[in-house]
Amino acid sequence: MNISVVIPAYNAADTIGAAIESCLQQTAPPFEIIVVDDGSSDETAKIATQYQQIRFISLSENAGPSAARNKGWNLATGDIIAFLDSDDTWHPKKLEIITSVFSDYGHILYLGHPYTVEAFPSDIAKPGKVSHRQYLSILIRNPYQPSCIAVRKSLDEHFDENYRYCEDHELSIRVAHMYSAHWLDTPLTQLGRPQLSAGGASGNKWKMRKGELRIYSSVYKHNILYLPFIPLLWIFSLSKMLYKNIQ
């Protein structure tokens, strides 16, 4: 089973090297590594192209993470596509472990796992528990972080390029609605910074919240019976933001 790695990068000169290195240090080497430079104005391209093992794609202008991931996804030739943001890194056994999961569970199309912002646990050696995640549970609390998502190439659904924020959440609930989403209970990604902290896309908390509100506003497309619950979802989303602001 071949795994293609897709790394979207925007002004990632300080971190892209570590992200690529974490792919090259895998116990099960990736079939290919595709770096999609999303219109960077720094030296991202210069640093990334020093690695002869990667395929480097440059977008003429900044199109957003969804477009960059989709570009790599469409060009990838592996059986599995694993996404890695340019400021994150993977555990050395990441690809070995998810290869085992996709091999053992032929029905899985969409797989996520936890992340850590600390050092990886020392006892990671084999896959943890694999479970199915329900649509409503993902809708209320998205567990899927982009650097922790892997999909089969055959999955028809892609990132919605109209979303620059919460695009992982939108894709996850859409896949859960149309197919099914699965979860591997093993932390295999180390974030370069905590979620919602300054410096990354998720650090813009209001835009992230607007992205979530936009998702909640469209759930009726999945099931018209959800329409009356949209105001409650809005209140739930805004109350989370208020709670975090007063902590």
CA separation, residue 181 to residues 7, 106, 175 (Å) = 22, 13, 6
pLDDT, one tens digit per residue, over 106-147 is 999 999 999 999 989 888 888 899 999 999 999 999 999 999
The beta strand positions in 74-124, using DSSP E, are: 80-83, 89-90, 110-112, 115-116
What is the chain's mean pLDDT, rounded? 93
The dihedral built from the CA positions of residue 171, 175, 176 and 181, taken in this order, carries a sign that is negative
The pLDDT score that the predictor gives to residue 242 is 72
Please state, for a pLDDT cut of 90, what percent of the chain lies above it. Answer: 85
CA end-to-end distance (rounded Å), the chain = 46
Report whether pLDDT(201) > 80.
no
Please state, for a pLDDT cut of 70, what percent of the chain lies above it. Answer: 94
Report whether pLDDT(92) > 90.
yes
The span from the CA of 20 to the CA of 214, in Å, is 33
Rounded mean pLDDT of 222-247? 85
Q: What angle do CA 203, 166, 94 make, to 5 degrees?
A: 85
The pLDDT score that the predictor gives to residue 199 is 52
Report whether pLDDT(105) > 60.
yes
Report whether pLDDT(102) > 70.
yes
Rounded mean pLDDT of 144-156? 96
Report whether pLDDT(87) > 80.
yes
The span from the CA of 205 to the CA of 237, in Å, is 12
Rounded mean pLDDT of 185-196? 84
The domain segmentation of the chain, as residue ranges, is 3-195, 204-247
Single-letter code of the amino acid located at 75: L
The DSSP bridge pattern shows strands 54-58 and 110-112 to be unpaired
The pLDDT score that the predictor gives to residue 126 is 85
Nearest one of 87, 92, 65, 66 to 195, comparing CA atoms: 87
Rounded mean pLDDT of 77-104? 97
The pLDDT score that the predictor gives to residue 241 is 74
The pLDDT score that the predictor gives to residue 26 is 97
Helix (H, G, I), strand (E, B) or coil at 247: coil
Rounded mean pLDDT of 93-98? 97
The span from the CA of 1 to the CA of 52, in Å, is 23
The pLDDT score that the predictor gives to residue 8 is 98
Give residue 191's region: left, alpha or beta (phi > 0; psi -120 to 50). beta
Lowest mean pLDDT among 3-7, 119-123, 243-247: 243-247
Give residue 163's region: left, alpha or beta (phi > 0; psi -120 to 50). beta
The CATH code belonging to domain 3-195 is 3.90.550.10
The pLDDT score that the predictor gives to residue 194 is 66
